[in-house]
Amino acid sequence: MNHTIAILGGGNLGTALAKGLLASKQFEMKDIIITDKRGHRLNYLKGKGFTVSDNNAHAIRHADIVVMSIKPQQFNDLVEEIKNYITDKHIIISTITGITLREIENSLGKLPIFRVMPNTALAICESMTCIASKNCNAEQEKRITSMFDKMGKTLKISEDMMSAATVVGAC
Per-residue pLDDT reduced to its tens digit, 87-132: 999 999 999 999 999 999 999 999 999 999 999 999 999 999 999 9
pLDDT of residue 1: 39
pLDDT of residue 158: 93
Does the pLDDT of residue 5 top 90, yes or no?
yes
DSSP calls for 95-158: --TT--HHHHHHHH-S--EEEEE--GGGGGT-EEEEEEEES--HHHHHHHHHHHHTTEEEEE--
Does the pLDDT of residue 168 top 80, yes or no?
no
Does the pLDDT of residue 3 top 60, yes or no?
no
pLDDT in tens, 25-57: 999 999 999 999 999 999 999 999 999 999 999
CA angle 23, 26, 31 (to 5 degrees): 100
Does the pLDDT of residue 17 top 50, yes or no?
yes
Residue type present at position 15: T
pLDDT of residue 165: 76
Instruction: Using pLDDT thresholds of 50, 70 and 90, give the confidence band for residue 171.
Output: low
Instruction: Using pLDDT thresholds of 50, 70 and 90, give the confidence band for residue 164.
Output: confident
